[in-house]
Amino acid sequence: MHPAIPKLLQIQERDQRIRQLQKDLKDIPNQQTRAKMQLAGDQQAVDAASLAVKETEVKIKSIQLDVQTRQTSIKRLQDQQFETRKNDEFAALGHEIKRYGEEVSKLEDGELDQMEALEKGKASLKEKQAKLGETQKRVNDELKALDERAEGVKKRLEEITAERKEMAAPVEEDVLDLYTRIFTKKGDAAVVPMENAQCGGCHMKVVVGVIQSLKQSEHLTQCESCGRILYLVE
């Protein structure tokens, strides 16, 4: 085995862990976004229930205003009726008073219906607010855990990067450059074993000359198909 292979395998193991940690760190913001999206549905439900309550309250106030207006009219007509001395005018005013009274009765029935709707609406709002609160707590816990995980990943990433730098220091520059180019391009491994005359990276058969070169271990040997650095499993 070429003397640089063991060191390159150590470096590669660190690079693979670094790449995975970088991937994990990059995915954490996406997980945070997904966690926050859990609130969207519950918040929309609360907003809709709150709007329904406000609309019902507006209807009730409108009905109460209409009742007040008609009661004022009834009072005015009653005063006019008390003052008039004409039977036909008295009767006409009586009909108007009766009509306004019937309208007041209908309005008050409608107000009772809206009051009942308001009570149900407030109960629904309270229920949805409670659910939102539970979801908010769960999401807060999840976000806190993700923040802690991110800090842990960053710390481990710094440690492994430092280890990698220390391991790479004694490796010849041209060897390290070759390894780095291959690892960057392949993304999984730059140094792979040859077993059963097959490359451990692309799994293609290797030629006899490559096998002989590996046995001699005089220089780094690359797979003719994928370019990865090979080592012989003994």
Mean pLDDT throughout 131-154?
95
Query: What is the overall mean pLDDT for the chain?
Result: 94
Give yes or no for residue 113 having a pLDDT over 90.
yes
Confidence at residue 29, expressed as pLDDT on a 0 to 100 scale = 95
pLDDT digits (tens, 9 = 90+) for 117-130: 999 999 999 999 99
Confidence at residue 187, expressed as pLDDT on a 0 to 100 scale = 87
Of all residues in the chain, the percent with pLDDT exceeding 70 is 100
The pTM for the full model equals 0.69
Confidence at residue 216, expressed as pLDDT on a 0 to 100 scale = 87
Give yes or no for residue 234 having a pLDDT over 80.
no
The residues spanned by each domain of the chain are 9-169, 172-234
Mean pLDDT throughout 28-52?
93
Q: Which amino acid is at 8?
A: L
Our measurement of the distance from residue 167's CA atom to the centroid of its chain's CA atoms, rounded to an integer in Å, reads 39
CA atoms within 13 A on the CB side of 191: 26
The partner residues of 192 in beta bridges, in order of sequence, read 230
Fold type of domain 9-169: Helix Hairpins (1.10.287)
pLDDT digits (tens, 9 = 90+) for 164-210: 999 999 999 999 999 999 999 998 999 999 988 999 999 999 999 98
